[in-house]
Amino acid sequence: DTGVSQDPRHKITKRGQNVTFRCDPISEHNRLYWYRQTLGQGPEFLTYFQNEAQLEKSRLLSDRFSAERPKGSFSTLEIQRTEQGDSAMYLCASSFRDPHTEAFFGQGTRLTVV
Amino acid sequence: GDSVTQMEGPVTLSEEAFLTINCTYTATGYPSLFWYVQYPGEGLQLLLKATKADDKGSNKGFEATYRKETTSFHLEKGSVQVSDSAVYFCALAHQAGTALIFGKGTTLSVSS
């Protein structure tokens, strides 16, 4: 296992289109997190899963955003009806138990909405 | 709510200079504190952490001490190298253990 992988690395989409990102965590990790990072800012928490259960969602996660983690393995983040304000880097991270232990981050998916 | 404030960058240093990047936090309870680093073209990776007051985290010559009285976790290195050029993020994990809260990041550029 080579770490957390995210696909695609880059996505350019037209406003109003739907996009879906995938994250494959480190296989033994039961926690998976999604963050969003805009230019000049640190990552902002969006949501996290413990196994297949989505336990918390940030206020940043509008109803156009949905995340899933079927069977507690990979996760997908879908954005419907994309807006220019959705342009950002979307980061996935995984950890064994909680963020008090080390979280391992993927390289992110850069979304550009034109 | 919980928050992390770190010094604005960019920080530009010559090789072998001393580095300090300030980080202060606001949180209830007793959070764990972290420094993550992002090298160009790579993902965030943990640099060091401290889980309770007066703990010192250290790695690769970097150090930071958890100071509860000043709510700070400043990052220091005695002699920086060109290879230390990266973006450094201070973060906290709340006692409740939900997710990391990050500062805005500080860009460090080291020249030879």
Q: What is the pLDDT of residues B53-99, one digit of tens each?
A: 999 999 999 999 999 999 999 999 999 999 999 999 999 998 777 78
Nearest alpha carbon to residue A61 among A40, A38, A74, A45: A45
For an interface test with A, give the residue of B2, B39, B44, B92 to mutate (most A CBs within 10 A): B44
pLDDT at B109: 97
Are A5 and A24 within 8 A, CB to CB? yes
**CB-CB neighbors (< 8 A) of B45 in chain A:** 104-105
Are B87 and B105 within 8 A, CB to CB? yes
Ordered per-residue pLDDT tens for chain A, 114 residues: 579 999 999 999 999 999 999 999 999 899 999 999 998 899 999 999 999 999 988 888 889 999 999 988 999 999 999 999 999 999 999 998 877 788 999 999 999 999
Number of CB pairs, chain A paired with chain B, less than 8 A apart: 63
Alpha-carbon Rg for chain A, nearest whole angstrom, is: 13
CA–CA separation, A86 vs A106, rounded Å?
19
Nearest alpha carbon to residue B30 among B51, B1, B2, B6: B51
CA end-to-end distance (rounded Å), chain B: 41
A99: nearest CB among B41, B44, B99: B99
Q: Which two tokens stand for residue A87?
A: 């342009």
* Chain A residues with at least one Cβ partner in B under 8 Å: 3-4, 33, 35, 40-45, 48, 55-56, 91, 93, 97-100, 102-108
For an interface test with B, give the residue of A104, A105, A110 to mutate (most B CBs within 10 A): A105
